[in-house]
Amino acid sequence: MTHLFTADPSAHVFDGRIYIYPSHDIDEGDAFDDLGSHFAMKDYHVFSMAHPEAEAIDHGVAMRVEDIPWAEKQLWAPDAAHKNGTYYLFFPAKDYDGIFRIGVAISTSPGGPFTAQPQAIKNSFSIDPAVFEDENDNYLMYFGGIWGGQLQRWRTGSFKAEGEGPFIHLPEDNEPALCAKVAKLSNDLLEFVEEPKDVVILDEAGMPLLQGDNERRFFEAPWVHKYNGKYYFSYSTGDTHYICYAMSDNPYGPFTYKGRILNPVVGWTSHHSIVEFQNKWYLFYHDSSLSKGVTHLRSIKCIELTYDEFGHIHTIDPYR
């Protein structure tokens, strides 16, 4: 898509067609900072394709920030799910206290428009929701992001507003890294039915990754898919700009680190999704090449993803 800037693509196959739920980048003139103030997105568009090489169709504005009663600003990376004829759009936004919450909106069409629920999901916080449909009609939401995503401000179980900047409340480098969260959703997919739990990533020795291990530890952009009976938890390392992954036999983890999926792209951020379509796997991601490197004006890309005989993902160099 070249007619507007899009990022953070969540791709799904609905009704035999690929639907993509991205954030919509705009330039509001906000100063660049490590809290992401320049990511000032105000609405969502939904796109779809008949197949990965086809033209992407813009289904128009799916929802605006003014349509969400509890949200003030910053409609960051969303995700979507489908159940019993209803389509769900999950999204983070800052409420009127400046705290990121996660909301949900519904539609009878995968292309929207979506109608937001009047309140954010109870006990939700931080950013980057990703909803995984497992067996037995279980839907799990993975979420979280540090620095501007505020995950570090929730370490004690309640929001800590004191202190300035992205590094306040982070663990020390020699402490276990902050984890993404996971929680099972209710039958109507509108609430959590349990307290969010840590998604722990272990190293090759079975020990949790440390906060200072910033080439492997979780930063933001969780995503889960399943391949040959194994659960794959993938994520961005943020300030080191990799998309990495870990594997487990359990959707709650712990997950063991396995390697990199995507090397750094043009622009600061990296955010992705992984989807199967007609027996092939695809990585959707973004970079800032269309804007010639403006880090908050990004564009979606798609490339085939492959595995070796052990189920390990081949690392992708985006510019080779």
Furthest CA-CA distance within the chain: 50
Catalytic positions:
8, 220
247, 255 contact by CB (below 8 A): yes
- Name, in order, each residue with C-beta under 8 angstroms of 176's C-beta and a sequence gap of 6 or more: 208, 209, 210, 211
Question: Is residue 113 reached through a cis peptide bond, with omega within 30 degrees of 0 on the bond before it?
Answer: yes
Q: How many CB atoms are located within 10 Å of the residue 28 CB?
A: 12
Residue type, 137: D
Residue type, 233: F
CA count, 13 A, side-chain hemisphere, 205: 4
Residue type, 206: G
Which three-class secondary structure state does DSSP give residue 73?
strand
Q: How far is it, in rounded angstroms, from Cα 116 to Cα 107?
A: 9
